[in-house]
Amino acid sequence: MRVDAALETTHLMKVPEIARDLESLGYDGVYTFEGPHEPFMPLLLAAEHTTSLQLTTAVAIAFARNPMTLANIAYDLQLASQGRMTLGLGSQIKPHIEKRFSMEWSRPAARMREMVQAIQAIFASWNDEVPLDFRGEFYRHTLMTPMFNPGPCEWGPPPIVLAGVGPKMTAVAGEVADGFMIHPFSTEKFMRETTLPALAAGLATRGRTLADFEISLPAMVAVGNSDGEIEQAREAFRMRLAFYGSTPAYRVVLEPHGWGEVQTELNRLSKTGGWGEMNSLITDEMLDAFVTCGTPHTIANALQTRYAGIVDRVSVNPPAGVAHETWTEALSKFTR
């Protein structure tokens, strides 16, 4: 199980130092996400200032862009990092695509399938020097002149991984992508009963199995040097779970546990501004289902035991209050 960390920063000029520190701790990779800042520029700086870290967008919002722009950026980062780039894409939800990005939303699973296929066709036109002739329902790419062709990449095109929650998008990842990023709002039960079967079904359409595929999880992890610190870190996830649980699309995660009606109430409270009340709906049982707890000396074993046979990569950020040397030792306990 490889270990990644979020490359979080409020200023691009801080990225080189943060990336070097994460590499020195012993992380295998870093990832960025589309939040207050865009996800690609930090990875260029990380590529320049590290030598071994895998660099991933987790995620870039696919439907806020088109296949050609995504292909261009990811290909350039693959070249700059000498083969360490992974293009991670997610769909977001309809309100954000239409109201925040002013882009079109329709049939997200079908659109994402075609988005990935279009990017792969563009990569093939550059790296394998085949004519660009992609004609789909949502995207059409049929022109690639020498002036706009970067040519073959020594390290090949970057892999594409998808993020998702529901079985439709998960199956699409198995069909067309190189890997899958499980949403942090996922329990072990949901992963084993819904995520893995959906991935297997998608993979089977191309004669592949889970052994041909990389699965990652940005885990919810509470680490501390004492029981009190662990409990404090665990408690901090209660609001985050309430926020995720209020999203109708994530109800599918709660229903296998019999918590479906909690989602209905969380959604209602989110619309009336009842954020304080939402916390009280997240029980200790729910926290235990989502959050893995431990000390720096036990967290590696706890994560590997919980997610054995499910994920190949897990992300765990350096916990506050844990010494550099102690956390380096903790990371070394993960079986690569």
Q: What is the CATH number of the domain that holds 323?
A: 3.20.20.30
Dihedral through CA 90, CA 44, CA 7, CA 38, nearest 10? -50
Domain check: are 69 and 144 in the same one? Answer: yes
pLDDT of residue 152: 98
Domain match, 11 and 99 both: yes
Residues 196 and 166 both lie in one domain: yes
User: Residue 11 has what pLDDT?
Assistant: 92
Please indicate, yes or no, whether residues 186 and 277 belong to a single structural domain of this protein: no
Cα 132 to Cα 135: distance, rounded to the nearest angstrom: 10
Taking Cα atoms as reference points, which of 170, 212, 162 lies closest to residue 191? 170
Domain match, 105 and 209 both: yes
| 168 and 107 together in one domain | yes
Q: Which two tokens stand for residue 184?
A: 């942090």
Pair 163, 263 in one domain: no
Q: Give the range of the structural domain holding residue 274, as residue numbers without chain letter.
A: 226-294
Q: How far apart are CA 227 and CA 236, in angstroms?
A: 14
pLDDT tens digits for the chain (336 residues)? 999 999 988 899 999 999 999 999 999 999 999 999 999 999 999 999 999 999 999 999 999 999 999 999 999 999 999 999 999 999 998 999 999 999 999 999 999 999 999 999 999 999 999 999 999 999 999 999 999 999 999 999 999 999 999 999 999 999 999 999 999 999 999 999 999 999 999 999 999 999 889 999 999 999 999 999 999 999 999 999 999 999 998 999 999 999 999 999 999 999 999 988 999 999 999 999 999 999 999 999 999 999 999 999 999 999 998 999 999 999 999 988
Number of domains in the chain: 2
Residues 127 and 163 in one domain: yes
Q: Is residue 115 located within the same domain as residue 181? A: yes
For residue 127, the model assigns a pLDDT of 98
**Is residue 59 reached through a cis peptide bond, with omega within 30 degrees of 0 on the bond before it?**
yes
- Tell me, yes or no, whether 231 and 309 share the same domain: no
Distances from the Cα of 274 to the Cαs of 96, 185, 240, 243, 251, in angstroms?
21, 21, 14, 11, 19
Under 8 Å between Cβ of 124 and 160: no
- Do 167 and 283 sit in the same domain of this protein? no
Regarding whether 299 and 289 lie in a shared domain, the answer is no
CA nearest neighbour of 66 among 162, 153, 6, 141: 141
